[in-house]
Every structure is written in structure tokens, then in C-alpha cells.
Structure 1
């Protein structure tokens, strides 16, 4: 039995199966989705996109960690926010955190 159950959100809409029924997620995926939404709502991603100063970028990443760790389901001190370059030479964020259900990773491709 799952502790957390939620609707799967994809592209800002409820994801459905072939019959049009909503898809559900549980536990670790719920936590990852909630953190993803909290990060988007924080507005920090927009700040990061426009910032070129390395010290300010580091401060924004630290604020993002605070957002991640403000979720009570995340084990304190286990989050990380790193910038990585993907195969198309674009920089993207990889956010990880430990939960009671295991490691969550957001933004990895």
C-alpha cells in the first residue's frame, strides 16, 4: 500500500491513459512531482536563467536547495543542485534528494 498517491501531471495537464482515465503516481514520484512544482512556483529558475555571475548563480542554487529541503519528506542535508551540460551542449539543472522511499532525481536526461 502506498503512503502518497497523486495524479500525474505532464505538460501542465493531468496525464491520461488510452481510455482517457487519469494516471496516478505514488510515493517517491509524488514527492518528486511536488518538489518540481515548488521549484517552478519559487521563481528561482527564471532568476537562474538570466544570471551570468557565478557567485549569484551559486546563491540561487543554494536557495533552490532550501526549496527542496523545505519539503518535510526530504531527508535534511541530502539535497544537491548541480548544473550539468547535456549532449546538445545546453546547461540544465540536476536536483537530487534522499527520501524515505529512496533517492529522487529531477532534471536528469
Structure 2
């Protein structure tokens, strides 16, 4: 499999460093998952979801998150799904065209 997507690995809002204090590189499906997670956080939808208590309006935010994720050209439309693990944590999965399924945890 050819590596097509590269990114610096971010954990706990900071770059991950190897033993030589160099940034760790993430590739392909991990890079796509990280991009999706950051897009959701940067859109403000994760914060909006934490603040929303109405079940109906929470599902509206879920729909907007799914539409955002499926607008990524690497994601197969109609494959994104959200599981609400807690009121402040979501697990999102989606299928990519080239690398199978990706899954990310989003904390509000």
C-alpha cells in the first residue's frame, strides 16, 4: 500500500515526539482520522454539542458533524456514523476510499 497522506501526530493538543525529540509522522488512515477530528473541533460543533441538552437539537448537531465529515473527499458518503459514548465523548467511524474504516474519539 502506498502512503498518500502524512501529518504530524498530535496527542493531547500537542505534537508527539519520538526519543530523539523529533515529531512523529502519522500516515494514511491515521492522518485522515486526525484531520476529521480536528475539523470537527475547529468547526465548534463538539463544543456546541456539549452545551446542548435537548435530544432533538443534539441529533441536529450529529447530522451537521456527519455532513462535515462526509464533505471530506477521502470519505465515502453515507458511511459516517456517530456513537455517543458519554455526553462529552463521541466515537465516529467512516469508510475511506483507499484505506478502509477510520474511527476517532471526539471529546467536547
Same structural fold, with TM-score higher than 0.5 when normalized by the shorter chain: yes
* Structure 2 counterpart of 1:102: 100
| Per-residue deviation, residues 3-37 of structure 1 (Å, max 9, x unmatched) | 11111112222211111011111100010000010
* Structure 2 counterpart of 1:63: 64
Judge which range, 94-103 or 4-13, deviates more. Answer: 4-13
**What TM-score do the two structures reach when normalised by structure 1?**
0.88
* Structure 1 counterpart of 2:19: 18
Runs in 1 of length 4+ with deviation above 4 angstroms? Answer: none
* CA distance in structure 2 between the aligned counterparts of 1:91 and 1:6, rounded to whole angstroms: 26
* CA distance in structure 2 between the aligned counterparts of 1:37 and 1:107, rounded to whole angstroms: 11
**What TM-score do the two structures reach when normalised by structure 2?**
0.89
Show structure 2 runs of 5+ residues with no match: none
* Structure 1 counterpart of 2:49: 48
Show structure 1 runs of 5+ residues with no match: none
How many equivalent residue pairs?
Answer: 104
The answer to which structure, 1 or 2, has the higher relative contact order (CA under 8 A, 6+ apart) is 2
User: What is the root-mean-square deviation in Å for CA atoms of aligned residues?
Assistant: 1.5
